């Protein structure tokens, strides 16, 4: 971790959502008026479960390290600082770090009243280990 630098705070261990992650992640709440925003940091190999944002989508701004983003039925995309991912509502997907690198992104939830995140199955080690 000493060589991993990011422009936003690391935050606390992501205990509130730990059941939806494989590996250790950290969460820092950011203040953007009216837009739920978080800096999410993933240790190497950490990823979240498949999930769907119902009602409103999500935008990811990659800020440090390297990571993966994958939509169901599509190949995974390698993410680097400066990359942006627009995730429409209703799309089953996951994101997380590569096996070798820490990864951080800012997650902005599209503010739609009644929006929820539907958490699904974990990304299996088998499907994750096929990547890069």
Cα 102 off chain centre by: 12
What three-state secondary structure class fits 115? Answer: coil
pLDDT exceeds cutoff 90 at 112: no
Radius of gyration for the alpha carbons in the chain, expressed in angstroms and rounded: 14
Which pLDDT belongs to residue 76?
A: 97
Average pLDDT of the residues of the chain: 93
CATH of range 12-129; options 1.10.1520.10, 2.60.120.10, 2.160.10.10, 3.40.30.10: 2.60.120.10
* pTM for this entry: 0.92
pLDDT beyond 90 at 124: yes
Of 118, 107, 114, 117, which Cα lies nearest the Cα of 36? 107
pLDDT band (50, 70, 90) for residue 1: low
Domain boundaries, the chain: 12-129
**Could you read off the pLDDT of 42-77 as tens digits, one per residue?**
999 999 999 999 988 999 999 999 999 999 999 999
pLDDT higher than threshold 80 for residue 36? no
> Rounded to whole angstroms, what are the CA distances from 116 to 50, 59, 104, 112, 119?
14, 15, 22, 9, 9
* pLDDT over 70 at 2, yes or no: no
Mean pLDDT, residues 83-89: 97
Instruction: Give the SS3 label for residue 91.
Output: coil
Percent of the chain topping pLDDT 90: 78
């Amino acid at each position: 971790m000493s060589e991993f630098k990011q422009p936003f705070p690391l935050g606390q261990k992501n205990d509130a959502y730990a059941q939806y992650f494989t590996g250790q992640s950290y969460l820092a709440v950011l203040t953007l008026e009216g837009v739920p925003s978080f800096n999410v940091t993933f240790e190497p190999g950490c990823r979240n479960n498949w999930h769907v944002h119902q009602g409103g989508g999500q935008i990811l701004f990659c800020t440090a390290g390297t990571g993966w983003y994958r939509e169901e039925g599509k190949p995974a995309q390698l993410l680097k600082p400066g990359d942006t991912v627009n995730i429409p509502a209703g799309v089953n997907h996951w994101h997380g770090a590569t096996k070798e690198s820490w990864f951080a992104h800012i997650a902005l939830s599209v503010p739609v009243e009644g929006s929820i995140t539907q958490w699904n199955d974990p990304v299996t080690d088998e499907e994750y280990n096929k990547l890069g």
